[in-house]
């Protein structure tokens, strides 16, 4: 009797915060909606001119005034540059990290160079790259690569070094060789580290593509924003910005989903 009462009490107290889990789920969306409403209200109430800060409604209207074909072409070229730069960054960074971990000489010689490249403001050398490499996708991809690759290298190196010492000893006691040690133990162990860098790098890839388009382009969302501001079409520039944010978020989300699909073990239990 008392046990039954205690049990039902326990289940009550477990059920009670149901509204709280809903509140928890809706919190981010409602915060966003509230922010938009405050923004809209402020613009209308204080009559803020649209060239200073356009109201959300004005941004939506401006966005709808641009044709779908225009949007798609701009999104397409930004996405193309971002993804190509991202792919090149992955293809170069991971083998580079493996080389840095495998060889002391390589790490002594290459690491300072990588740090110097990373310390160089890419926005500042972007115009130089464009002059050197000409007006094609190539300079844009190179700029995106330069902005994207560093976190991937650093995270992969950290992951490769974080492998438990015991497993390396196990590998050596089996005389499996350094290639297998890298492929069977170190690289899989680095996967969680690599994915956290890949997620950060999705946003960096979009930034890289936009920076490249600011410097030299006739299409793309970066160009679209530059073009819109030069004609004082500020709401339209904001619409371009909103699309860029959405693009970044989508890429980030895709990367998270890829991790969940292909390497679910690399996620903490709660995130699977």
Partner 1 sequence: MNERTHVIRFANVEQTFGRDDGSAVTALEDVTFDIGRHEFLAVLGPSGCGKSTLLRLIAGLIFPTRGTISIYDLAVTEPRDEIGIVFQRPTLLPWFDVLGNVTFPLRHKYGRVSAADKVRARDLLALVGLSDFASKRIDELSGGMQQRVAIARALLLDPDILLMDEPFSALDALTRDEMGFELLRIWSEKPKTVLFITHSIPEAVLLADRIIVMTPRPGRVREVIDVNLARPRSIATLSEPAFNALANHIRGQLFTRVVA
Applying CB under 8 A, the residues found at the interface with partner 1 are 164, 166-167, 169-176, 180, 184-185, 188, 191, 263, 265-266, 269
Residue 83, SS3?
Answer: helix
What is the chain's Cα-based Rg? 25
Report in angstroms how near the CB of residue 106 gets to partner 1 at its nearest. 21
Report in angstroms how near the CB of residue 158 gets to partner 1 at its nearest. 17
Closer by beta carbon to partner 1, 74 or else 171: 171
81 vs 39: CA distance, rounded Å:
33
139 vs 132: CA distance, rounded Å:
8
260 vs 269: CA distance, rounded Å:
11
Closer by beta carbon to partner 1, 31 or else 170: 170
Closer by beta carbon to partner 1, 80 or else 260: 260
Residue 176, SS3?
Answer: coil
Contact 205, 251 (CB under 8 A): yes
Report in angstroms how near the CB of residue 179 gets to partner 1 at its nearest. 10
Report in angstroms how near the CB of residue 195 gets to partner 1 at its nearest. 13
Token readout for 125 is 């050398």
> What letter does residue 267 receive in the DSSP assignment?
S
Closer by beta carbon to partner 1, 46 or else 265: 265
Closer by beta carbon to partner 1, 190 or else 206: 190
Report in angstroms how near the CB of residue 191 gets to partner 1 at its nearest. 8
Closer by beta carbon to partner 1, 26 or else 174: 174
Residue 177, SS3?
Answer: coil
Q: Tell me which residue of 202, 213, 214, 215 sits closest to 246, measured CA to CA.
A: 202
End-to-end CA distance of the chain: 39
Report in angstroms how near the CB of residue 251 gets to partner 1 at its nearest. 25
């Amino acid at each position: 009797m008392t046990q039954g009462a205690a049990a039902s009490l326990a289940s009550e107290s477990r059920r009670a915060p149901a509204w709280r889990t809903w509140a928890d789920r809706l919190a981010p969306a409602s915060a966003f909606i509230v922010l938009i409403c405050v923004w809209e209200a402020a613009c209308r109430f204080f009559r803020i001119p649209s060239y200073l800060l356009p109201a959300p409604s004005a941004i939506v209207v401006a966005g709808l005034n641009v044709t779908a074909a225009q949007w798609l072409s701009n999104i397409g070229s930004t996405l193309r540059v971002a993804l190509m730069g991202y792919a090149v960054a992955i293809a170069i960074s991971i083998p580079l990290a493996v080389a840095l971990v495998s060889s002391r000489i390589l790490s002594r010689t290459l690491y300072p160079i990588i740090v110097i490249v990373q310390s160089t403001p890419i926005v500042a050398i972007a115009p130089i790259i464009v002059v050197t490499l000409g007006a094609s996708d190539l300079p844009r991809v190179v700029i995106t690569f330069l902005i994207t690759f560093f976190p991937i290298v650093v995270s992969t190196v950290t992951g490769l070094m974080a492998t438990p010492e015991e497993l390396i000893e196990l590998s050596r006691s089996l005389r499996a060789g350094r290639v297998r040690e890298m492929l069977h133990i170190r690289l899989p162990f680095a996967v969680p580290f690599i994915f956290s860098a890949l997620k950060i790098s999705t946003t960096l890839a979009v930034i890289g593509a936009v920076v490249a388009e600011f410097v030299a382009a006739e299409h793309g969302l970066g160009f679209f924003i530059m073009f819109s501001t030069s004609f004082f079409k500020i709401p339209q520039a904001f619409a371009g910005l909103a699309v860029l944010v959405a693009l970044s978020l989508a890429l980030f989300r895709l990367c998270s989903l890829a991790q969940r699909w292909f390497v679910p073990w690399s996620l903490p239990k709660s995130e699977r």
